[in-house]
Structure 1
Amino acid sequence: MSAPAPMPAETSLTKEFIRSFCTSKLAIVGFVILVVTAVAAIFAPWITPQNPYDLMQLDIMNGRLPPGSENFDGGIFWLGTDDQGRDMLSGILFGLRTSLSVGIGSALLAGAVGVTIGLIAAYVGGRIESGLMRLVDLQLSFPSILVALMILTILGKGITNVVLALVIVEWAFYARTVRGSAIVEMQREYVEAAKGLAMPFYRVLFRELLPNCLPPILVIATMQIARAIALEATLSFLGLGVPITQPSLGLLIANGYQYVFAGYYWISFYPGIALLILIVAINLVGDQVRDILNPRMNK
């Protein structure tokens, strides 16, 4: 009988990553929460009792009903309603769609910009590297929320503008991390071999350097997604984020803030709990990914 074929290296690494990830019960809990949250957000239009932003489905007589109240049609508002009669459970699921879209979209775009700049800085070196890193230092010297507020004050509300503002305040984190990793990789033989073969610089950057810089990129990305969701919620709470027609969790919290001291706590409380659970779940997963890919950071 012939010997079994050796397992591909990629498959072996994937199985080892999954095995290491599953050693943390908190990371598993966080991952399950993220999966459930993502599925609920994606299918929100089909699983929610109402579209909370369709005026034809709203009744002002259902305004500010406490959790567990029945409506005139016999349905139950499990998490209550807001001042316009919107079902809070439906609003939270629709809000999750916006929060996740903004968080993931801005993290991916910021990663693309920051990774490219970091790779170029490490590969080119000299004055270009020095100039790019001074730009990174300048960006990181300002509070992210302040920069985002200034940008949105100029551009105005809107998901596109929020994503653009978050990309501007996030790209520098990727650039600095990738530049540090790429400088180490530049000293290795495979990069020297690629240069000796006169390989175009963009192929060296994205075919040779980038795959070997992926671990720190993944670590930064998981952290930045949670950070972007929190920043977007803060901006929306302050009135400079997404418009009322495209609600996020931050906007839902802001809508109920004025009613908290009147006893209608649930209008802000439940969206706040949803936001907290989402960010904690992402951080739990991100912490375990960090410990697996870069265990030295845990020492």
Structure 2
Amino acid sequence: MDKTGKSLTGLALQKFRKNFWGVLSLVFIVLLLFISIFAYLLAPDKTQNANWGDLSIHSKSPGFTVTMLHFPADLSSNAGFAKYFTGETNPELKIPILKYQVSKDSLTYFEYTDEPSLAVSKTIPLSEFKTTDKATIEKEYIRTQRFLLGTDSQGRDLLSRLLVGSRVSIAIGFVAVFISLVVGIFFGAIAGYYGGKTDAFVMWLVNIIWSIPTLLLVIAITLALGKGFWQVFVAVGLTMWVEVARVVRGQVMSIKQMQFVTAARALGYNNRRIIFNHILPNSMAPVIVISAANFASAILVESGLSFLGLGAQPPIPSWGGMIKDHYNYIILGKPYLALAPGIAMLLLVLAFMMVGNALRDALDVKSE
């Protein structure tokens, strides 16, 4: 391979492109990011948090199809571009039905039930609709809806919840890793570079935090900050920086003894420039691997918090919360309710680990 005239970044990108699984994983992550951002465009249920459900159709198998009776509603509040990112705040009313009959001035329908003999019939006047024409009513207000992945325990579309829930899992991974990198790199860099009492204080702080079980520390921070969407992200991030700090500290202690750092000091560069422009860029390979592992840990910690009721609060969907709500269905003959978000979480975590390993190999200046 000809390396003449190529920068280190160019060589790293060239090596990364040759890693099939790394490139494939990166494409999967980008695709999932696109899906999470435009979740409401792709989800069959476009209500806010994909929260529409009916208990009469709960826990239905993938591919379940039902007839829906829609009622006219004022959808003016759903107008605008924002609904494509936040969902519809005022969805139209719809009811699952078994069958219906339209007469001259009324519509009689039977509400959906697993036992047709127990179906309850109701009659409503055609004045409820914007028209009294039978053909128009059947075309505009009576539609067949298909649930590709079935429905959950509350009768909500599982596919829609899965798509919208990807936002929480991806966001908590990115935010928690970002916080852990900022805090961990800062403390690790000053501890490794300055040494002495600064190093002793940082390592004392790291050991104290590391001695507390992660989940208990996250719970304590969450209770201090309060329950909420962003509070969980901050709490998880503040418990994951210790590993980053230890790795960065070791890298800085090793690199600061090298000749190019001595040359930088001789040229009169200040400590901040030496740390951030010369030492840290040469110590990022192991940090990237740690970040990929921390991404997986953040998702798992969020799942644990959701199980305890401290994660993303209902009705906000999250993969961890979906597993918590349906884990008992694994032994009740409908394991897909918990396996679907579990498999999605597995693929996302695996993709980040593969990308982390590929970047580590690409950024390793010692490898050919």
TM-score range, shorter chain: 0.7 to 0.9
Partner residue in 2 for 1:15 = 14
Could you list the per-position Cα deviations for residues 160-180 of structure 1 after superposition, in whole angstroms to 9, with x for gaps in the alignment? 211121112110111000011
Question: In the superposition, relative to structure 1, how do residues 238 and 156 fare at CA in structure 2: closer, same or farther (>3 Å)?
Answer: same
1:189 counterpart residue number: 259
Could you tell me which residue of structure 2 aligns to residue 114 of structure 1?
Answer: 184
**Residue pair 1:60, 1:84 contacting (<8 A) in 2 also:** yes
Q: Provide the secondary structure at the position in 2 that maps to 1:169.
A: coil
**1:84 aligns with one of 136, 154, 159:** 154
- Is 1:66 aligned to 2:136, yes or no? no
Inter-partner Cα distance in structure 1 for 2:195 and 2:150: 58
The answer for the alignment partner of 1:141 in structure 2 is 211
Pair 1:49 & 2:44 matched: yes
Amino acid at match of 1:12: L
After TM superposition, the structure 1 stretch with the greater mean CA deviation from structure 2, 54-63 or 8-17, is 54-63
Which moves more between the two structures, 49-58 or 107-116?
Answer: 49-58
2:30 maps to 35
Indicate how the Cα distance of structure 1 residues 54 and 233 shifts in structure 2: closer, same or farther if over 3 A, else same: closer
In the aligned structure 1, how far is the partner of 2:50 from the partner of 2:6? Answer: 57
What amino acid does structure 1 have at the position aligned with 2:337?
I
- Alpha-carbon distance change, 124 to 8 in structure 1, aligned in 2, over 3 angstroms: closer
Match of 2:310 in 1: 240
Q: Counterparts of 2:317 and 2:248 in 1: how far apart (Å)?
A: 34
Contact 1:104–1:225 (CA under 8 A) maintained in structure 2: yes
**Deviation string, structure 1 residues 256-293 (Cα, Å, up to 9, x no partner):** 23555554443323122222222223223333444555
Distance 2:235 2:49 in 1: 29
* Aligned-residue offset at 1:59: 4.0
The residue identity in structure 1 corresponding to 2:201 is G
Which is strand-richer, 1 or 2? 2
**2 CA distance for matches of 1:52 and 1:82?**
16
Q: How many pairs are equivalent?
A: 288
Shift of 1:99: 0.4
CA contact (8 A) 1:219 1:290 kept: yes
1:285 has 2:326 as partner: no
Deviation for aligned residue 1:238: 2.0
Residue number among 125, 131, 134 corresponding to 2:201 in the alignment = 131
The structural deviation recorded for 1:55 is 7.8
Q: TM-score, normalised by structure 1?
A: 0.86
Q: Letter of the aligned partner of 2:244 in structure 1? A: Y
What is the percentage of aligned positions where both structures have the same residue? Answer: 33
Partner SS, residue 102 of structure 1? helix
Deviation at 1:201, TM superposition (A): 2.4
Once the two structures are overlaid, the 10-residue window that deviates more, 147-156 or 65-74, is 147-156
Matched, 1:225 2:295: yes
Q: Match for 2:239 among 169, 191, 204?
A: 169
Asked if 1:269 corresponds to 2:339, the answer is yes
For structure 1, which segment, 117-126 or 78-87, has the greater mean C-alpha deviation from structure 2 after superposition?
78-87
C-alpha change, 1:128 and 1:186, in structure 2 (3 Å) is same
State the 1:145 CA deviation. Answer: 1.8
Opposite residue 169 of structure 1, the aligned amino acid is T
Structure with the largest fraction of helix: 1
Counterpart of 1:7, as a letter, is: K
Indicate if the aligned counterparts of 1:216 and 1:294 stay in contact, CA closer than 8 A. Answer: no
Displacement after TM superposition at 1:144 (Å): 1.4
Match of residue 107 from structure 2: none
Structure 1 portions without partners, runs of 5+: none
Q: Which one has the largest radius of gyration? A: 2
For each residue in 1:16-60, what CA deviation from the matched residue of structure 2 results, as whole angstroms up to 9, or x when unmatched?
2322x23xx4x4553343233222222211111013545885444
SS in 2 for 1:75: strand
One-letter amino acid of the structure 2 residue matched with residue 76 of structure 1 = R
User: Counterpart of 1:153 in structure 2: which amino acid?
Assistant: L
Secondary structure at 2:11's aligned position in 1? helix
- TM-score normalised by L of structure 2: 0.71
Structure 1 stretch displaced more, 28-37 or 163-172 = 28-37
The separation in 2 between residues aligned to 1:62 and 1:214, in whole angstroms, is 51
User: Is contact 2:236-2:298 (8 Å) kept?
Assistant: yes
Deviates more, 1:107-116 or 1:202-211: 202-211
Do the aligned residues in 2 keep the contact of 1:102 with 1:159 (CA within 8 Å)? no
Shift of 1:98: 0.8
Give how far 1:295 is off: 10
